[in-house]
Amino acid sequence: MLKKLWLAWLDLVYPPKCPACRSSVAEQGAWCTRCLHVISRPPLEAAMQVRRLRALDDCLILYEYAYGLKRLLHDMKFRRDERQVAALVWLLDRALAGKTLPAYEWVIPVPLAAGRLKERGYNQTERIFEPWCREAFPGVWQPDLLVRRRDTQPQWELSLGERRRNVKGAFSVTRPQEVKDRHILLVDDIFTSGATMDACAQALKQAGAVRVSGLALAGG
């Protein structure tokens, strides 16, 4: 009841706006139809990218990394702006509502290096995916099973070959016995070349995982 009253008051004082174009929408965090059309695509297995990878078995990309979504993710990652988390969570919930997914045994966010996590104060992938995971797959959210052992150069400024070398051996599993013989879902905010997610999958398979799938909010 208190939550409903709070949301009603919030809508009255701050009428909901589309996070991309600022037009009026029905609820806080929602996107307008026009902006959704720009970034939407049918849930797509990133088949071409995955074929070039060594360890990641499959990957689902939900939206195009473009327009307002690209700006929101950029601001959250590089400007340390968490104000739009609700809009990103809304997109995730919308894309996956009613969708039947495999019974993943663990869901693991792609980790940040300790230095970058300290600087930013949060892992943006955890902020986006944790609420959905705890509702869709209770008890399988494992943000500390995989760690990044060293800082790496930002991937966006590198070629494909450089990206692979940049993240090679950068990840390790903290409790290998909990990974052995498991089907694991890796989640990340953005999937481009797939090099980072593939490096994570390699570490998990070296620890005994039988299958590693990927899920990304945006790709391009």
Using the structure block, give the residue that is written with the tokens 């473009």: 66
Question: Residue 47: pLDDT above 70?
Answer: no
Determine, yes or no, domain membership for 170.
yes
More confident residue, 1 or 153: 153
User: Of the ranges 44-58, 164-178, 203-217, which one carries the lowest mean pLDDT score?
Assistant: 44-58
Determine, yes or no, domain membership for 81.
yes
What are the phi and psi torsion angles at 28 (to 5°)?
Answer: -60, 135
* Residues pairing with 219 in the sheet: 64, 191
Determine, yes or no, domain membership for 19.
no
Tell me what the mean pLDDT of segment 34-38 comes to.
92
CA 24 to each of CA 4, 72, 77, 165: distance values in angstroms, whole numbers, following the listed order: 20, 18, 26, 45
Question: Residue 8: pLDDT above 60?
Answer: no
Determine, yes or no, domain membership for 90.
yes
* Residues pairing with 211 in the sheet: 183
For residue 83, the enclosing domain spans: 42-219
The reported pLDDT for the residue numbered 42 is 66
Tell me what the mean pLDDT of segment 180-196 comes to.
94
Average pLDDT value over all residues in the chain: 86
Determine, yes or no, domain membership for 56.
yes
Determine, yes or no, domain membership for 80.
yes
Strands of the chain, DSSP E: 40-45, 58-64, 106-109, 146-148, 171-173, 183-191, 211-219
pLDDT band at 10 (very low <50, low <70, confident <90, very high): low
Determine, yes or no, domain membership for 17.
no
pLDDT band at 64 (very low <50, low <70, confident <90, very high): very high
The reported pLDDT for the residue numbered 48 is 58
C-alpha span between 114 and 9 (Å, rounded): 39
Residue 164 carries which side chain, given as an amino acid letter? R
The reported pLDDT for the residue numbered 71 is 92
pTM: 0.87
Determine, yes or no, domain membership for 190.
yes
Structural domain count, the chain: 1
More confident residue, 162 or 73: 73
Of 168, 157, 155, 177, the closest CA to residue 202 belongs to: 168
The reported pLDDT for the residue numbered 162 is 75
C-alpha span between 134 and 39 (Å, rounded): 26
The reported pLDDT for the residue numbered 49 is 63
Cβ-contact 109, 187 below 8 angstroms: yes
Q: Mapping DSSP to helix (H, G, I), strand (E, B) and coil, where does residue 2 land?
A: helix
